């Protein structure tokens, strides 16, 4: 057994052992698929257990306070304490709410988050199912998440939950467009929509080739996961927790779990699309067994960035939020798409040098666009500062 | 290719007829629109089944392209139709098609 | 005809699509009808995957479930008809409509089952997506319907915004 390729060999050995029971091949495949699904779901739920305490400790340290430190040394089992607390709470259903819808919404929220794990590549030959439309599948799954939010809002029989659900859908739809456009830029570069193909095509991580697409995708993915600074609609101190207000106990825990599972999946997606996935300067050719660890390490980096954003930035107001998406991110991602489409077609004489030349050209062009954007924003901010309305307010205060 | 083509066509026909019943017998404009969407889905299933069972051998992609165009047209029509429903609701406070009969003789 | 996995999957997916469709036209509560519509769309997307056109399945989920169904649900919530006491769901043509639908289905089923369809067995090519992309913009293939569809979308976009605007 090739120890360096441990995970694939393990799968092969288990498959052969099951086949030796004398089952027909379709039964062996079915059982193997079930085991694979179980492992992926466990990965997803593991995200909650690992990242809940990590989030609270990291944000606490950034705010110069200790964070949870009662459960186990350093408070690392906090998620377990939260789970026990939520399990022991009473399950309240509003009397005039539609019972079926009220119970359907939490289930429907967790399902899309877990479904993303099917197309995430954990190694050179470790992937749930290598769909040739992998990234399109991820975007389509996001659509189901939007539906779940609407059902949660409607099934609560609460005007404020409904209003918050409307606004959340508004936000989710607004941030879906730049997300799709930045994924499209990556697909143009990699010439394939399958996630495994995109990782294999990244001789240079795409964050360096198209930094604009990477940053836009990070922001949009955070907005899709309803995380700060764009979590106006579900934060505890705003809009009374939004569309989740009438949910208590385990159902609320489902929303909570869905958010963290989604966050982990999105972090792995960012590392797959933009940071090179399971590649690490050639280490994956030597020891493919370390590939899942590399993926996990990169996704922890991305999650740390997300937590950093949450601890640092204030919340955006709702109209600022959607205005930011439609008026800034969509034109920027369209310009980026145009750029990528043009540069990809530059003919390079020496085909071995082609990725580097094209990557360098794209990086240069992206830096020019980012500098131009910063300049325009600076000019707009200066104009806003000198606006007569603002002057009147400042004058009155003085 | 083990499922016979006629099964797909029967399912498409059933979807179409159910959508037709929805269009003919409901009063609410939005419910009628939902029936229309069902009919368009049935058409798409039909197109793609015929593509898979016939055209793949000839190498053309007309079935898929046609299905994509149908989805596009369905989206455009749903958007405009629902905008009309909202406009009528604002003017008449009703979405019941039986009550919007100002042009009746 | 030996029963294989594809047959079972086909029956499950078509049952989902048809049960969803029946739920749409038979359910009195409009919101539940919209959710049954989503179920029907998901069933049809499954049928597309069975037909080995995964890209259309994803497009179906993205556009039908992610945009059209959400739009329908929004309009249902804005026009709160189903909260009014005189809400009547069906009009006088209900029996006639049922008869027409059943007769049409009988005729179609009879025709579809009695014709032998000229099928050709072939495998879907590996680069189907690249071919689809090329077909949509190739001048000798389908660029004209593609461009006309984009113009249609632009017109629908502008039209919907203008019609639904508050005066």
* Tens of each residue's pLDDT in chain A, 398 residues: 566 677 777 777 777 777 777 777 777 778 888 888 898 888 888 888 888 888 888 888 888 887 777 777 777 777 778 888 888 887 777 777 778 888 888 888 889 989 999 888 888 877 878 888 889 999 998 888 888 888 888 887 777 788 888 888 888 888 999 999 999 999 988 888 888 889 888 888 888 888 889 999 999 988 887 776 666 666 655 556 667 777 777 888 888 888 889 888 989 999 989 988 888 877 767 777 778 888 889 999 999 988 888 888 887 778 888 888 898 899 999 999 998 888 887 776 666 676 777 778 888 888 888 888 888 888 888 887 776 666 666 665 55
Mutation target vs C (from A104, A140, A158; most C CBs, 10 A cutoff):
A140
Distance from CA of A57 to the nearest CA of C (A): 36
Confidence (pLDDT) at B39: 95
User: Is any Cβ of chain C less than 8 angstroms from the Cβ of B86?
Assistant: yes
Domain range list for chain A:
91-345, 347-398
Nearest to A131 among C5, C54, C65 (CB): C54
Say if residue C9's pLDDT is above 70.
yes
pLDDT of residue A395: 61
Q: Which of C55, C27, C23 is nearest to C40 (CA)?
A: C23
How many Å is the maximal CA-CA distance in chain B?
Answer: 56
Question: Are chains C and A in contact at 3+ CB pairs closer than 8 Å?
Answer: yes
Three-state SS at A116: helix
Interface size A-C, in CB pairs within 8 Å, comes to 58
Q: Which two tokens stand for residue C141?
A: 């293939």
**Distance from the C119 Cα atom to the nearest Cα atom in chain B, whole angstroms:** 5
Shortest Cα–Cα distance, C5 to chain A (Å): 9
Contact B44/B70 with Cβ under 8 angstroms? yes
Whether B36 has its CB under 8 Å from any CB of chain C: the answer is no
* Residues in Cβ contact with A89 at an 8 Å cutoff, skipping those fewer than 6 apart: A248, A249, A250
Contact call for residues A181 and A337 (beta carbons, < 8 A)? yes
> DSSP assignment, residue B26?
B
Distance CA A49, CA A44 (A): 9
Radius of gyration for chain C, computed over Cα atoms and rounded to the nearest angstrom:
20
Provide the number of CB pairs (under 8 Å) joining chain B to chain C. Answer: 241
The CA distance from C99 to C123, in Å, is 41
For the residues B22-26, what does the mean pLDDT come to? 90
Interface of A with C (CB under 8 A): 26, 98, 101, 131-133, 136-137, 139-144, 146-147, 150-151, 154, 162, 166, 169, 173, 176, 193
Give the per-residue pLDDT at B35: 94
Could you tell me what percentage of chain C is helix, strand and coil, using 3-state DSSP and rounding each to the nearest 5? Answer: 75, 0, 25
pLDDT per residue over A316-352, tens digit each? 778 888 888 898 899 999 999 998 888 887 776 666 6
CATH of B5-92, one of 1.20.1050.10, 3.30.390.30, 3.40.50.620, 1.10.287.3510: 1.10.287.3510
Check residue A316 and report its DSSP letter: P
Please give the model's pTM, rounded to 2 decimal places.
0.88
How far apart (Å, rounded) are the C-alpha atoms in residues A41 and A34? 11
Q: Which of C5, C61, C74 is nearest residue A143 as measured by Cβ atoms?
A: C61
Q: What is the distance between the alpha carbons of residues A163 and C47, in angstroms, rounded to a whole number? A: 35
Burial of A317 (0-12, 13-18, 19+ CB in 10 A): exposed
A166 vs chain C: nearest CA distance in angstroms? 8
Do A150 and C73 contact (CB within 8 A), yes or no?
yes
Please compute Rg for chain B using Cα positions: 18
Residue of C nearest to A143 (CA): C66
Q: What is the pLDDT of residue C19?
A: 95
| CB-CB neighbours of A83 under 10 Å | 18
Residue in C35, C54, C62 nearest the CB of A143: C62
CA separation for the pair C119, C102 (Å, rounded): 28
C-alpha span between A168 and A152 (Å, rounded): 11
CA A332 to chain centre: 20
Asked if the Cβ–Cβ distance from B86 to C98 is below 8 Å, we say no
Give strand ranges (E) for chain A.
121-123, 126-127
What residue ranges do the domains of chain B occupy?
5-92
Q: Which residue has the tokens 């709160």?
A: C80
What is chain C's mean pLDDT, rounded? Answer: 86
CA distance A271 to chain C (A): 23
In this complex, is the C-beta atom of B37 within 8 Å of any C-beta atom belonging to chain C? yes
Closest by Cα among B65, B13, B62 to B38: B13
How does residue C32 score in pLDDT terms, banded at 50, 70 and 90? confident
Contact list, C28 vs chain B (CB under 8 Å): none
A121-123 vs A126-127, strand pairing mode: antiparallel
Strand, coil or helix: C14: helix
Both tokens of residue A213?
């697409």
Please tell me which of the candidates C59, C61, C73 has its beta carbon nearest to residue A150.
Answer: C73
CB spacing of C24 vs B76 below 8 angstroms: no
**Other C-beta atoms lying within 10 Å of the C-beta of residue A43:** 19
Report the C-alpha gap between C24 and B36 in whole angstroms. 11
* Residues of chain C found within 8 Å of residue B38, distances taken between Cβ atoms: 21, 24-25, 37, 40
For C106-134, the pLDDT digits (tens) are 999 999 888 888 777 777 777 788 888 88
Select the more confidently predicted residue: C157 or A377.
C157
Q: Which of chain B's residues have a Cβ under 8 Å away from the Cβ of C101?
A: 17-18, 20-21, 24
Q: How confident is the model at residue C1 (pLDDT cuts 50, 70, 90)?
A: low
Which residues in chain C have Cβ-Cβ distances shorter than 8 Å to B2? 4, 6-7
Q: Do B48 and C88 touch (CB under 8 A)?
A: no
Question: Could you tell me if B73 and B43 are in contact, meaning their C-beta atoms sit under 8 angstroms apart?
Answer: no
- Please give, rounded to a whole number of angstroms, the shortest distance from the CA of B95 to a CA of chain C: 7
C134 to chain B nearest CA, in Å?
Answer: 10
| A229: preceding bond cis by omega (within 30 degrees) | yes
pLDDT-derived band of residue B1, with 50, 70 and 90 as boundaries?
low
Nearest CA to A181 out of A56, A308, A326 is that of A326
Return the residue of B nearest to C39 by Cα: B38
How far is A71 from A82, CA to CA, in rounded Å?
10
């Amino acid at each position: 057994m090739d120890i360096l390729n441990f995970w694939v060999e393990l799968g092969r050995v288990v498959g052969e052992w099951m086949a030796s029971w004398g089952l027909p091949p379709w039964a062996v495949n079915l059982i193997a698929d079930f085991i694979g699904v179980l492992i992926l779901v466990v990965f997803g739920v593991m995200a909650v257990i690992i990242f809940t305490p990590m989030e609270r400790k990291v944000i606490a340290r950034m705010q110069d306070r200790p964070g949870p430190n009662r459960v186990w040394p350093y408070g690392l089992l906090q998620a377990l304490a939260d789970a026990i607390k939520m399990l022991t709470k009473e399950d309240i259903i509003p009397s005039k709410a539609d019972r079926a819808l009220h119970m359907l919404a939490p289930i429907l929220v967790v399902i899309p988050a877990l479904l993303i794990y099917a197309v995430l590549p954990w190694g050179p030959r470790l992937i749930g199912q290598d769909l040739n439309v992998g990234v399109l599948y991820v975007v389509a799954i996001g659509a189901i998440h939007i539906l779940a939010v609407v059902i949660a809002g409607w099934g609560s029989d609460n005007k404020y939950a409904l209003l918050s659900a409307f606004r959340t859908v508004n936000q989710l739809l607004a941030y879906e467009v730049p997300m799709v456009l930045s994924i499209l830029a990556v697909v143009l570069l990699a010439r394939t929509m399958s996630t495994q193909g995109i990782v294999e095509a990244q001789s240079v991580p795409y964050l360096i080739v198209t930094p604009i697409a990477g940053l836009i995708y990070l922001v949009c993915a955070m907005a899709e996961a309803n995380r700060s600074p764009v979590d106006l609609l579900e934060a505890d101190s705003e809009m009374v927790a939004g569309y989740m207000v009438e949910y208590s106990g385990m159902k609320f825990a489902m929303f909570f779990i869905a958010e963290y599972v989604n966050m982990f999946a999105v972090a792995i997606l960012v590392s797959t699309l933009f940071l090179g996935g399971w590649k690490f300067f050639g280490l994956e050719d030597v020891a493919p067994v370390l590939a899942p660890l590399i993926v996990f390490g990169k996704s922890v980096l991305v999650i740390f960035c997300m937590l950093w954003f949450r601890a640092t930035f204030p919340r955006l107001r709702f109209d600022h939020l959607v205005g930011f998406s439609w008026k800034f991110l969509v034109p920027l991602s369209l310009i980026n798409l145009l750029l990528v489409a043009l540069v990809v077609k530059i003919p390079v004489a020496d085909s071995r040098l082609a990725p580097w030349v094209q990557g360098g050209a794209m990086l240069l062009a992206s830096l020019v666009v980012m500098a131009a954007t910063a300049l325009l924003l600076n000019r707009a901010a200066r104009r806003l500062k000198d606006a007569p309305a603002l002057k009147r307010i400042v004058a009155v205060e003085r | 290719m083990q499922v016979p083509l006629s099964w797909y066509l029967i399912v498409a026909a059933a979807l179409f007829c159910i959508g037709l019943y929805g269009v003919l017998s409901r009063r609410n404009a939005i419910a009628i629109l939902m029936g229309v969407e069902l009919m368009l889905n049935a058409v798409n299933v039909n197109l793609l089944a015929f593509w898979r069972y016939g055209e793949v051998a000839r190498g053309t992609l007309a079935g898929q392209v046609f299905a994509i165009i149908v989805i596009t047209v369905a989206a455009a029509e749903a958007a405009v139709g629902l905008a009309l429903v909202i406009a009528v609701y604002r003017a008449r406070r009703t979405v019941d098609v039986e009550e919007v009969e100002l042009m009746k003789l | 005809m030996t029963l294989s996995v594809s047959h079972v999957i086909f029956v499950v997916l078509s049952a989902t699509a048809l049960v969803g469709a029946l739920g749409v036209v038979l359910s009195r509560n409009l919101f539940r009808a919209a959710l049954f519509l989503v179920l029907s769309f998901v069933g049809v997307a499954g049928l597309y995957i069975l037909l080995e056109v995964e890209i259309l399945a994803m497009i179906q989920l993205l556009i039908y479930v992610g945009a059209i169904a959400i739009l329908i649900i929004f309009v249902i919530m804005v026009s709160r008809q189903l909260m009014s006491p005189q809400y009547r769901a069906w009009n006088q043509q209900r029996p006639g409509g049922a008869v027409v639908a059943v007769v049409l289905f009988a005729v179609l089923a009879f025709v579809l089952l009695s014709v032998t369809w000229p099928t050709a067995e072939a495998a879907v090519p590996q680069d189907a997506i690249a071919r689809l992309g090329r077909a949509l913009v190739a001048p000798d293939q389908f660029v004209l319907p593609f461009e006309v569809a984009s113009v249609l979308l632009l017109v629908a976009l502008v039209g919907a915004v203008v019609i639904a605007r508050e005066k």
